[in-house]
Structure 1
Amino acid sequence: MSSCCSWWCGGDCGPRLCTAATAGAWAGKKIVDRLPASTFVVVIEVGLVVSGALLLVTGG
């Protein structure tokens, strides 16, 4: 049993994380399929700018 996740899921993180990752990937694919390509590019660029700004402000 891994001590890193035993406090929140009883140590059986694998199946729970796999289920969450699969559900997230499925939902993300459905959302991206509905977005126009130009909107997707803007969303990604905004995310990168925000991430970079947070990196500069917080120092890492």
Structure 2
Amino acid sequence: MQRPAGLLARGRRSILPSPGFKVIETAFALDESFMKQFYNRHQGNTTAAEAEVELFVALLVNEIGTE
């Protein structure tokens, strides 16, 4: 297991919150109208549409985490 100080020295962030910081948990559901946008962009290729949704959600959560 890496120690947080070692991770920071290498320019990486620890997944553990620092003292004084708050941890916020979020949950959201992808509804039909949201998913339809991705299925329309990848006509007939549900695998590509779902892969793009996964990437979109990962980037969204990453942006929320950096605020």
With the length of structure 2 as denominator, give the TM-score of the two structures: 0.38
Q: Which structure shows the higher helix fraction?
A: 1
**TM-score of the pair, normalised by structure 1:** 0.42
